Amino acid sequence: MVVGLSHRSAPLEVLERAALDAGSARALAVAACGGEDVAEAVVLSTCNRLEVYSEVASFHGGLADLGGALARATGVPLPELTEHLYVHYADGAVEHLFTVVCGLDSMAVGESQVLGQVRSALRRGQEDGSVGTVLDGLLQRALRVGKRAHTETGLDHAGHSLVEAGLAHARDVVGPLEGARVLVVGAGAMSALAVTTAHRLGAGSVTVVNRTAARAQRLAEAVGGRWRALGESGALERELAAADVVLSCTGAVGHVVDAATVGAARALRSGGAPGGSGTAAPQLVLDLALPRDVAPEVGRLPGVVLMDLAGLGEELGEEAAGRGAGVAADLADARAVVAEEAAAYLAERRAAAVAPTVVALRTQAREVADAELERLRARLRQHLGEDLDERVEAEVAQTLHRVVSALLHTPTVRMKTLAADASHGPAYVEAVRELFDLDPVGTRAPEVVSDALRAFPEARSAPGVRGSDGSLAQALGLRRPGDGGETR
């Protein structure tokens, strides 16, 4: 099951309130596993999405556990949060993950940074023990799918990173990027992308300012740039004054770049003290953080152009729509990879789910054969006063087991084949368990899809669960039957 919200389901203001830092994301995954119906959980928290991927025992119980954990972790009341949540379950959850890891659900369609984010989320889950065999295998597979999509299709040509989209405005605001002075605030993954992209596009100089000077130094030195510690008195103000383009992505709570600091920097940039009469050269400020690093009031200062994730995302959507058939073909190829890989993974999982039943069936048959051999020995001792000759006994035992294997071969092959059918496969396996009276606990496969979908048919829909009967809200304890109104 996947429960989450993203730029596609929630406005920036809600995403900002629900944003979690790395530590809080880890805590959410561990807390989710404390739910009665959640066995495993991993949290993907990026600048434009917050999602919990989980292995659950039931749809309703898992949804209630995850919804409550998300509300507690974000501090957003559950009724308000539910308005923006989407849910993917069973097959749909796998396909959604593969779509996300390929960058097909990103604000900048086709971007590859999400690969690293998913890899980091998996590593944190492994370290914290919230990821078990199911999610470990699924996320490892997802990473391979993402690499394949970028290698075998034109997805990289379709993609346009947020950093590149923002820097494309530099020419209109400050002139050619070549020779421009770029300031990067922060030293995380997005900041690293900003530094390397600005350097690749020919920026005249790159300066990194970060709370931890060592991290700023490592990042800046990689491109021959400068670095400063954010806590150094007046450092941010002076670097802002010198910069033509500012990119900020710290992941901090609260505004790192406020209007007062930028106003003072603008005065220095004009060559005078605060309140001076000089005219400062224009500046482009790109806020790539969530929660936002830059106070909205900065965009109202004369000579400052401020762009945040909401504006860049809208622009990227319009750009993708206008790039024509070539991009559409690249995206179609990538989606075909996702569909193929999701079908293959699900078929493998259903086949693996049959294994306990097959093992139990063969074990039962072997036990019956061994019991008959023992009866044969007893009868021979009773009537002839002796056991079978060892060679004869071995030949009889081998013949009996060959007959049993031959009789079971076709049913077991057919069972594995039929199990690949998501609609009827579990029913076939259940029929075998009933017919042969196999242990329902020891052999029950870890599949709850069919029962859950029968209980909650709306779970088949995508991209979210939508029904007019309020079932999702009821599952979360937000609405009673008969309240009316559509619930997403």
Q: Residue 109: name the closest of 149, 50, 51, 168 by CA.
A: 149
Catalytic residue, chosen from 33, 47, 102, 249, is 47
Q: Residue 339: name the closest of 152, 156, 149 by CA.
A: 149
Cα separation, 360 vs 433, in Å, equals 9
Helices 235-242 and 259-269 pack at an angle, to 10 degrees, of 50
Cα separation, 26 vs 446, in Å, equals 26
DSSP 8-state assignment for residue 279: P
Task: Annotate 98-117 with DSSP letters as a single string.
Answer: HHHHTTTTSSSTT-SHHHHH
47 an active-site residue?
yes
Contact yes or no for 24/17 (Cβ under 8 A): no
Cα separation, 145 vs 139, in Å, equals 10
Cα separation, 341 vs 116, in Å, equals 20
Q: Rounded to an integer, what is the distance from CA 332 to the centroid of its chain? A: 21
**And the tokens for 86?**
């989407």
Cα separation, 307 vs 180, in Å, equals 18
Q: Which positions are annotated as active-site residues?
A: 47
